[in-house]
Amino acid sequence: MPGTVNPPRKMRPHWLAAGVAAGILLIWLVMMAVAIRDAALPPHASGRMFAVFPPGLGETAIVNRIAAAGGQPVRKTWLGSVWVVAGDKPGLAGALKEQGVLGTYGELPIGLQLAGCFAWADARVGQMLTMTP
């Protein structure tokens, strides 16, 4: 009818969009968990590595745990619970795990590069991106 005003439409939640977003987030979390688990060093590894300690652990406790495992603290990273550890003792990664380390990882030649979703840069890419010959 001319001249009548239709009542405003009631807003419905976008359950489909929320479900798709939640599904994508869940898939991403699972894939990241698998990637992090697969990147961990084996227990017999030694040399220079990242050691991820439980959050909230003090610096003194971290250094004591590194020393008890037979490693040497090189430096801490911008994340307080992640330290660079070095040691030639075979099985340093396993010894750190026995001291409560959540995981040990090889130090990358260059930082983790984010490209789109996720990209891993290997040593050849690192050599291409450096300014030195």
| pLDDT at residue 40 is higher than 80 | yes
d(CA 56, CA 21): 32
| pLDDT at residue 90 is higher than 80 | yes
Answer whether residue 47 is part of any domain.
yes
- Domain region containing 95: 42-129
Answer whether residue 81 is part of any domain.
yes
Read off the pLDDT of residues 60-87 as tens digits, 9 standing for 90 and up.
999 999 999 999 999 888 888 889 999 9
Residue 69 sits in a domain whose CATH number is 3.30.70
Please spell the DSSP secondary structure of the chain, one letter per residue: -TT--PPPPPP---HHHHHHHHHHHHHHHHHHHHHHHHHBPPTT--SSEEEEPPTT--HHHHHHHHHHTT-EEEEE-SSTTEEEEE--STTHHHHHHHTT-SEEEEPPSSPPPP-TT-----HHHHHHH-S--
pLDDT given at position 33: 84
| pLDDT at residue 113 is higher than 50 | no
pLDDT given at position 38: 82
Averaged over 120-125, what is the pLDDT?
54
Answer whether residue 63 is part of any domain.
yes
| pLDDT at residue 110 is higher than 70 | no
User: Which one has a higher pLDDT value, 35 or 7?
Assistant: 35
Answer whether residue 15 is part of any domain.
no
| pLDDT at residue 25 is higher than 90 | yes
d(CA 124, CA 106): 16
Answer whether residue 6 is part of any domain.
no
Answer whether residue 107 is part of any domain.
yes
14-23, 52-61, 123-132, range with the lowest pLDDT: 123-132
Answer whether residue 31 is part of any domain.
no
Answer whether residue 65 is part of any domain.
yes
Choose among 45, 37, 25: nearest CA to 96.
Answer: 45
Q: How many distinct structural domains can be found in the chain?
A: 1
